[in-house]
């Protein structure tokens, strides 16, 4: 999957998707099931938005790191402000943004490396793990 961006502020999450159909495909859910997780979180300058979460059907693979059936969330919220809404929609279309990956896959075991000059993202097994 392409269009996944690393968000250092999304420490609680493994993956948050912006496209409902992609979330449905990966989880096998419709989004209204009682066993889904519902989280209220601050986002886009709003007080709270609700994310819908469920376990993915399969493995999330990041290089050699494999996470079996990770919890993934869907954010259907588009900011109320017209300017922010326009910027988010443009970003989704222009840059092909499908979602964000947070820090959760890397807790305590990996060091994340951001090479901003070369536009590269990577991680290494931590020597303290």
User: What is the per-residue pLDDT for 30?
Assistant: 92
- Residues 69 and 75 sit within 8 Å (Cβ to Cβ): no
| Predicted TM-score (pTM) above 0.85 | no
* Mean local confidence (pLDDT), 6-12: 81
Domains annotated on the chain, with CATH: 4-125 (2.40.70)
Check whether 85 has a pLDDT greater than 70: no
Q: Where are the beta strands (DSSP E) in 28-109?
A: 37-43, 46-55, 59-62, 65-68, 71-74, 99-101
User: What is the per-residue pLDDT for 108?
Assistant: 81
What tens digit of pLDDT does each residue of 91-112 get?
Answer: 777 878 888 898 999 988 888 9
Please state, as a whole number, how many other Cβ atoms lie within 10 Å of the Cβ of residue 46: 13
């Amino acid at each position: 999957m392409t269009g996944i961006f690393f968000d250092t502020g999304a420490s609680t999450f493994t993956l948050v998707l912006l496209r409902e159909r992609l979330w449905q495909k990966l989880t096998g859910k419709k989004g209204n099931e009682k066993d889904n997780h519902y989280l209220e979180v601050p986002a886009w300058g709003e007080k709270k938005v609700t994310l819908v979460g469920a376990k993915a059907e399969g493995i999330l693979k990041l290089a050699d790191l494999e996470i079996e059936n990770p919890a993934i969330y869907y954010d259907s919220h588009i900011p109320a402000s017209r300017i922010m809404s326009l910027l988010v929609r443009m970003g989704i279309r222009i840059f092909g943004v499908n979602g964000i990956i947070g820090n959760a896959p890397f807790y305590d075991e990996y060091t994340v490396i951001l090479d901003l000059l070369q536009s590269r993202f990577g991680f290494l097994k931590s020597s303290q793990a």
